[in-house]
Amino acid sequence: MAADASSAAPLQDPALRHDWSKAEVEALFALPFNDLLFQAQSLHRQHHKPNSVQLSTLLSIKTGACPEDCAYCPQSVRFETGLKKEPLLDVEVVLEAAREAKDNGATRFCMGAAWRSPKDRDLDRVEAMVRGVKAMGLETCVTLGMLKPAQAERLADAGLDYYNHNLDTSPEFYGKIISTRTYEDRLDTLANVRAAGVKVCCGGIVGMGEQESDRAGLLQQLANLSPHPESVPINDLVQVEGTPLKGAEQLHPLEFVRMIAVARVLMPKSYVRLSAGRQAMSEETQALCFLAGANSIFYGEKLLTTANPQNEKDRALLARLGISTEGSVSAPPAAARESQQGESCSTRCC
Ligand code: SF4
């Protein structure tokens, strides 16, 4: 039976629930905004430092020419987006970018490759990247597309901390976004990652023309994974010329905040990451997202292929909000050099 989500009183701690019904999730979305934020912030404070965010930096290690047809993605070979293709980077280039990310305050380094799934021979180089980044004391995350069990085990043996593989949207809306892999394929990869003992980074994208019920459906799927993904990136679509979703109806910023808040309520112990789309977001919207329970951001001047707020701007915003970063006692240190990050898929979901 659906819980009564209409009260402004703090929720009972629903940590580790994995049996959310769609009606329950929709009831959270339907709450008055202040009630929802109060619940989200109350839960956030039970499980996380209230004024701290984790910084992740994302690098595209292989860009473009992807055979998949994700309608939001400039890296698909099927869309004319003018994106410059790049083969798999050399290990040293990646390690230099990781050093720079660490100097700039990141604690996790995420490496994304535009593949349907990696070839076994490509994994040799990716494993060397993971080992090298980990040796610097950074957490490691890769997103390489669909993974077979043996591939997940190879990455685990290399010391990989997180594997990113997003569900993107609800099962009902999914077919309007991607036809070249199924929802089940994605769940299989997540299961393979879990079975190998690697932590899961899994979220989705909003602002793709979906309904609120689809946003609820996505979060229901994520919250009913057991265990919850340790990291839940929520992306606001960055529309790219040439992709089928260019011109999609944009999501109102307060609806984006609701999405963050419901994610926090459903998965109270997870890191909820404010991911793609921050460049176009006002500081006020970002502040509301932190209030709603976002406690991780992508930090760096580019995501895979689209712009991200400049480091300096981020530092100023976090300082204004009194938010420190994990692994430091204050806002992140000044940027040392311009990032070498390649261009990439803004809303990554491989
Ligand atoms: S999101 Fe990933 S799988 Fe989909 S087209 Fe882009 S690079 Fe390929």
Task: Please state the pTM of the whole predicted model.
Answer: 0.85
pLDDT digits (tens, 9 = 90+) for 7-44: 433 334 455 899 999 999 999 999 999 999 999 999 99
Residue 346 lies in a domain: no
Q: Is 66 in the pocket of ligand 1 (CB under 6 A)?
A: yes
Query: What whole-number distance in Å separates Cα of residue 112 and Cα of residue 109?
Result: 10
Domain ranges, residue 74: 50-325
Fill in the DSSP letter of residue 245: T
- Residue for token pair 């990652």: 193
- Reference 330, options 49, 24, 52; nearest CA is 52
- CATH number of the structural domain spanning residue 232: 3.20.20.70
pLDDT at 247 over 70: yes
pLDDT digits (tens, 9 = 90+) for 211-229: 999 999 999 999 999 999 9
Residue 69 lies in a domain: yes
Res 331: pLDDT:
39
Query: Residue 335 belongs to what H/E stretch?
Result: none
| Mean pLDDT comparison of 96-100, 335-339, 341-345, highest-scoring range | 96-100
Residue 332 lies in a domain: no
Backbone angles phi, psi at 172, to 5 degrees: -70, -35
Res 10: pLDDT:
37
Residue 263 lies in a domain: yes
Q: In whole numbers, what is the pLDDT of the chain averaged over residues?
A: 87
Residue 38 lies in a domain: no
pLDDT at 295 over 80: yes
Q: Total structural domains in the chain?
A: 1
Q: Is 192 in the pocket of ligand 1 (CB under 6 A)?
A: no
CA 88 to chain centre: 22
pLDDT digits (tens, 9 = 90+) for 318-329: 999 999 988 653
Please tell me the distance between residue 116's alpha carbon and the centre of ligand 1 in angstroms. 7
Instruction: Report the pLDDT averaged over residues 172-199.
Output: 96
Residue 335 lies in a domain: no
Q: Which residue of the set 108, 110, 125, 181 is catalytic?
A: 110
Pick the residue with more confidence: 37 or 6? 37
Instruction: Tell me, yes or no, if 273 is annotated catalytic.
Output: yes
Instruction: Tell me, yes or no, if 349 is annotated catalytic.
Output: no
Instruction: Tell me, yes or no, if 66 is annotated catalytic.
Output: yes
pLDDT at 343 over 80: no
pLDDT at 309 over 80: no
Instruction: Report the pLDDT averaged over residues 179-196.
Output: 96
Fill in the DSSP letter of residue 325: E
Alpha carbon distances (Å) from 202 to 303, 309, 322 = 17, 22, 28
Residue 37 lies in a domain: no
pLDDT confidence tier of residue 288, bands split at 50, 70 and 90 = very high
Cis before 32 (ω within 30):
no
CB-based contact 76:69 (threshold 8 Å): yes
Residue 5 lies in a domain: no
Lowest mean pLDDT of 49-58, 85-94, 111-120, 332-341, name the range. Answer: 332-341
Angle at 302 between CA 286 and CA 236, to 5 degrees: 40
pLDDT confidence tier of residue 148, bands split at 50, 70 and 90 = very high
